Structure 1
Amino acid sequence: MQIRFMRELVLLKLCVSGYRACIEAIRPKFDELKRSCAYGKLSSKCNRVEPSVRSVVYMVASKYGNQSDFLFLRRKHQEEDYHAERDRLFSAMAFTSNRSNIVDLVKEVLAVKDRDTDFRQKLFELARKNYDNEIISDYIHYNFNELLKK
């Protein structure tokens, strides 16, 4: 268990920092996942990615992939029944650097009262993963009056 956690942590840190060898090693796993789970939930048997590295695979797709990759993750997040898998997906999507994707995630978090979602935790996660681009604070600033009503 500890070895798997350490492997996930090391891979996550290397890939998040842009280490090309890490990204190149992980990216094919997402490409295969996208093909094999096109019509299945990521918590099903179609997902052959080891659970201990799923977060890394999803993050690489969100941070370094294209819009199609992000939309795949978002669709899978909406379809998913399992809380743990939804958390992995949301955490990965929070790494996107696409401003409109972040704004859409913020709107979704504030608008949708998901089964087991604490919107404060999700907003914090979005802000923490995007600390350098101020997307979250800009959104809150420009929509303060509307948010205050909620």
Structure 2
Amino acid sequence: MNHKEYSEVGRVGEEVWICDYRYNDIDNQPIRHITPRKVVVVSNEELPKNKRVYYSNFHFRPVNEKGKVLSQVIAPYDNTGYRAYSGTSLNIFYTREECKQHYLNQCLENLKRFEQAKISKIAYYDMKIEEINKEVTSLL
């Protein structure tokens, strides 16, 4: 589920699983890459003074293997938001298995996009090499 759906049923203090792996442009860094992890939902009233979380009343904090809540703040939305558009929400799940499956699907989708880009780039470079070879041949 996304942030909007979770806001209707979720509550501060509960543990959930989150993940996200998306590229806006595969020639650049991913817009967000969060591997599946267990987190606690925390009210924004508990944010450090130098932190802000936009478009949400809560944020997430990771839970380590021993069950300790870490201080890292994970915002529910990525940084693509602006004014009325909040950006894209993290994916939120109640079980580890659902989260891992969704993350796997995102990875497979990214692989498809990279394979397609690779084919397109190779075709483009082959075309340019052919053009240059024709120029060289015409000069000899």
Which structure has the larger Rg over C-alpha atoms?
2
Larger fraction in helix: 1
Decide which structure has greater strand share: 2
What TM-score results when the alignment is normalised by the length of structure 1?
0.19
TM-score (normalised: structure 2): 0.20
Kindly indicate whether structure 1 or structure 2 has the higher relative contact order, using CA contacts under 8 Å at least 6 residues apart.
Answer: 2
